[in-house]
Amino acid sequence: MRILIINGPNLNLLGTREPEIYGSTSMETFLKELINEFPNTEIIYFQSNIEGEIINRLQELDYDATIINPGAYTHYAYAIADCLKSIKKQKVEVHISNIYQREEFRHKSVTAPYCDGVISGFGLFGYKLAMIHLLQQ
């Protein structure tokens, strides 16, 4: 199975950006853990700070399922939401922090209705939970 993991804006700074919220592990380090834990799964990773690049990557459809953390785009990126709506593959939205414990504007996700599930507040472990779910489908 090929799983695409997409991270949105500022998530390239994982490990150094607000470690009290996002932890101190970089995505590169965490990806190595995922690859070791799921050796029979091809993990494709993509991160962009640009909404259109995220949409273009999603539309390539060279994967079986996707895990997406849209970052701040979660709350207002209707173009990403429309893209997710058009993709008929399994999709899980992941948030490292519990978005419901943060600022009020973060409580609404415009992308979540077009995903099969949402995992929020479990740190990077949320990506593992999403992988387990997708692999059991």
Question: Which positions are catalytic?
Answer: 22, 95
Structural element, H or E, at residue 44 = strand 42-47
Lookup result for tokens 């690049």: 53
Distance CA 66, CA 84 (A): 10
Q: CB under 8 Å to 40, separation ≥6 — which residues? A: 1
How far is the CA of 95 from the CAs of 1, 17, 47, 72, 130, in angstroms? 23, 15, 14, 10, 11
How far is the CA of 134 from the CAs of 22, 68, 102, in angstroms? 23, 12, 27
Distance CA 17, CA 76 (A): 22
